[in-house]
Structure 1
């Protein structure tokens, strides 16, 4: 009997060790992938991804191909995942932008839109503005989250939106909310990421809870479980800090009174400079920031969706 118990205990121990090793290996593989995606998108090959250039076309194809490989569904509008839009800049020059939109059906029809912009400043003279932090970092995280939810079915239906022409006035996000592939009243929240890989103080800001205090709990619930410092702020006009409410693509959703959470770092010396390269990000901070944002999204998908279901039952 003792021998059998020992063997059983050994099997349990072996199983636990194997599972822990597998989880660790999977996490390391995901960290490597998100860093690789950031490095690729911010390489010279993409020429700074300015809207309307060959570099932006290449980035759009990269993102669409990844959406396809992950099995994301696409809306009937547009071609596959590509939704084009037209606009003129301040000088009257016409542009054709491309948003890359895919989704994963959830258990609910209500929608979370997770977004990041893929465009940057392109080439200026002989310099390439690679935009590693701004915003290859957000796009690589977006792809990471799409991979996660393709394997872990969400409660909300999740739309993954890679917006174009943010640097030219949030044009892609504005085009999305003006001609949405779903009803705007289905969108319960926008989670936007713009510059999340470069901070020397281990600080990642979450903007949006000043206007939408009901969202604060989903961040505070997990603050002690993550390795970066999640700070609420840059959305209260009374503090003297820059107000980021409308300074990235979440501004287009805010204009439609759609609640949002925006994740970003404060400006740094490489902001909108040719030196915003992969070599100047903080890799450890970045992978931990991506993990923190995913934890917030998972918390929202579990608890916020449960509250919506409870409210529906009350109505019924």
Structure 2
């Protein structure tokens, strides 16, 4: 019943207010798309994902799995996938674009709005797929919108168990992309990922956007893919100061220069009741979608000495 209600609301929103959703500051209506994720349950967020994927002109598949952890007990999870089909029939490997859509449950039992973590990334991933659709890539791009990341990367692990990585060329993961103009990327995903991080650096240079590489990057679904041997990078966005504060907190050691007990703003924001629409900058979501698409275009064109994961 809840799924049906959400679908009806989404349909009405698309039917009666498309012009209102698009403004000069947000020409592709990304704010409204992110706002749709503010729901009382993760099951309702699943339906929002399905509705947005269909509205973008793709056909989603829902893959259910048995997840949960010691705190929650058994829980059914749902990964939502769709593809941008490649044009080279001789290529059997796929490039994956991933982002988790579940939100964390707060101490009072309510669900975080989960805007920065991680609805914005999901909308950016769908936006990247829209941009890639007209690019006629050789590789197929599989977008995987993952459930139960907040419970321990369970959706990513279950997808890997079900599908394996033999046909995975590379993985681009997005987590925390709701505001800021500085791209952060992980460098700690093994030697197999060197060509992926190189592609990220090339995009940073060509687009002249500020980028910060992290020798140790905050954990996300990339950790599951890296542990299984896949070439992967995790990407996120922050304001310039926040990105460098995060770098120092994770990589600066005891003499990082930060005040004792200092916690970067983003870590006081996510997993709290402050992760709301007031924090969202649609320009960041648009930038993230464009950057992810460009990184994937780079990876599509890399062939020498970079075999798919085994």
- Into which bin does the TM-score normalised by the smaller protein fall? 0.7 to 0.9
Root mean square deviation of aligned Cα: 2.9
Q: Tell whether 2:74 aligns with 1:94.
A: yes
Q: Which residue of 2 aligns with 1:174?
A: 157
Matched, 1:251 2:247: no
- Equivalent pair of 2:121/2:176 in contact (CA under 8 Å): yes
Q: 1:214 aligns with which of 169, 186, 195?
A: 195
Unaligned segments of structure 2, at least 5 residues = 1-21, 238-245, 247-263
Structure 1: 4+ residue segments shifted above 4 A: 26-31
Structure 2 counterpart of 1:60, from 30, 37, 46? 46
- 1:36 paired with 2:59, answer no
1:1-316 aligned within 5 A: 32-41=28-37, 43=38, 46-47=39-40, 55-72=41-58, 81-91=61-71, 93-106=73-86, 107=88, 108-122=91-105, 124-125=107-108, 128-180=111-163, 183-199=164-180, 202-208=181-187, 211=190, 212-226=193-207, 228-235=209-216, 243-244=217-218, 247-265=219-237, 266=246, 267=264, 268=266, 269-301=268-300, 303-304=301-302, 306-307=303-304
Distance in 1, Cα, partners of 2:173 & 2:52:
19
For 1:221, what is the secondary structure of its paired residue?
A: helix
Whether the 8 Å CA contact 1:227–1:288 is kept in 2: the answer is no
> Larger relative contact order (C-alpha < 8 A, sep ≥ 6)?
2
Gaps of 5+ in 1: 1-25, 48-54, 75-80, 236-242
Q: 1:215 to 1:121 in 2, by over 3 A?
A: closer
Tell me the TM-score normalised to structure 2 length: 0.73
TM-score (norm 1): 0.71
| Partner deviation per Cα, 1:256-309 (whole Å, 9 max, x = no partner) | 1001010024451312111111111344344333322322222222x22x4479
User: Given that residues 31 and 287 in structure 1 are in contact (C-alpha distance below 8 angstroms), is that contact kept between their aligned partners in structure 2?
Assistant: no
Distance 2:178 2:54 in 1: 26
Give the corresponding residue for 1:10. Answer: none
Larger radius of gyration: 1
Aligned length, in residue pairs: 255
Equivalent position SS for 2:269: coil
> What does residue 17 of structure 1 align with?
none
Confirm or deny: 8 A CA contact 2:25 2:283 kept in the other structure: no
